[in-house]
Amino acid sequence: MDQGAKIVLISSIYHSYDHYLAPEITDAMQQTIEAALDAHGAVTVFFRADDIGVLSKNYQHLMALFLKYQTPLCLAVVPAWMTQSRWEAMAEFHGKKETLFCWHMHGYRHMNHEIKGKKQEFGAIRSTRALSSDLSRGHERLTAIMGKNLTPVFTPPWNRCSPETLMLLKEKGFKAVSRSQGSLPLSPPGLRDFPVHVDLHTRKEQRAKEGWQTLLAEFTTGMNDDACGIMIHHMRMNHQAFIFLEYLLALFAGYKQITVVAFNDLL
């Protein structure tokens, strides 16, 4: 499925305010950070932006924010969506910025192949040959377009994949996979796992209050792990979502004890 065919849904939490975050939200975020710092002394964070491949207004807004705060960002690129011309159009965000932005592979076509159950592009229903072919074609395509900018990390669409996929990733020279925290099966030895704990945008809560409570709980979990992974879907962001993201970037920048890293720093 091409990303243009997706139904864009904005989480209820980003319809709960206009221009300013409520004090109870900002106070709760600061309390979460302070509690983690009291417990551990320091916190490591990474941001991962999925579904990259088109130079949209939201994409440009996203990149401009990370440039403004000089904050590293891991960008999960869908090989079938990326072209040479699209990569060249993104030139201001790579090249000299390779130490800030970490580009890596996000599936192949971002297409669900499962007949029933949860969506997966690299699930158990597919043959070893099909899985291997898509992994190789995707990596070869991105390498040809992006060259040295490509990092050997794989993010499976919908944050899930089969055990066979994990073994193939290791065999093909990938160094790590990034999925949701607690994902199974476990990665094989030699293939690191960089889990995301916080889902900023693909949220399902119907009520904003419930959504904020769950989101803050995810931050608490993440900040008590080795590295708190924060997942971004820029196509699901509205003006309010950008307000909250900028708040987070400014908040993290204000703490010397918080280190924001990219996958390159973790390998």
Q: Cα–Cα distance between 92 and 54 in angstroms, integer?
A: 14
With vertex at residue 158, the alpha carbon angle to CA 152 and CA 162, rounded to the nearest 5 degrees, is 70
174 residue type, one letter: F
Q: What is the pLDDT of residue 96?
A: 63
Q: What is the pLDDT of residue 94?
A: 82
CB within 8 Å of 247: residues ≥ 6 apart: 21, 26, 29
pLDDT greater than 50 at residue 135 = yes
Q: What is the pLDDT of residue 8?
A: 62
Calculate mean pLDDT across residues 44-58. 97
Q: Cα–Cα distance between 260 and 69 in angstroms, integer?
A: 11
pLDDT greater than 50 at residue 5 = no
Q: What is the pLDDT of residue 92?
A: 87
Q: Which two tokens stand for residue 54?
A: 């088109």
Q: Which two tokens stand for residue 182?
A: 């607690």
Q: Which two tokens stand for residue 131?
A: 């899985």
Check residue 220 and report its DSSP letter: H
Calculate mean pLDDT across residues 58-79. 97
**How far does CA 58 lie from the centroid of its chain?**
15
Q: Is 82 helix (H, G, I), strand (E, B) or coil?
A: coil
Q: What is the pLDDT of residue 235?
A: 96
Nearest to 237 by CA among 197, 196, 199, 201: 201
Q: Cα–Cα distance between 94 and 11 in angstroms, integer?
A: 30
- Identify the weakest region by mean pLDDT among 68-72, 90-94, 153-157, 200-204: 90-94
pLDDT greater than 80 at residue 56 = yes
Q: What is the pLDDT of residue 1?
A: 35
pLDDT tens figures, 99-134: 899 999 999 999 999 999 999 999 999 999 999 999
pLDDT greater than 60 at residue 6 = no
Beta carbons of 148 and 119 less than 8 angstroms apart: no
Calculate mean pLDDT across residues 56-61. 97
pTM: 0.95
Domains of the chain, residue spans:
3-266
pLDDT bracket for residue 51 (50, 70, 90): very high
pLDDT bracket for residue 10 (50, 70, 90): very high
pLDDT bracket for residue 226 (50, 70, 90): very high
Q: What is the pLDDT of residue 2?
A: 40
Q: Cα–Cα distance between 122 and 183 in angstroms, integer?
A: 14
Q: Among residues of the chain, what percentage have pLDDT more than 70?
A: 96
pLDDT tens figures, 179-199: 999 999 999 999 999 999 999
Q: Cα–Cα distance between 240 and 196 in angstroms, integer?
A: 22
Query: In terms of CATH, what superfamily is 3-266?
Result: Glycoside hydrolase/deacetylase (3.20.20.370)
Burial category of 26 from C-beta neighbours within 10 Å (exposed 0-12, middle 13-18, buried 19 and up) = middle
pLDDT bracket for residue 3 (50, 70, 90): very low
Tell me the pLDDT of the chain averaged across its residues.
Answer: 95
pLDDT tens figures, 151-180: 999 999 999 999 999 999 999 999 999 999
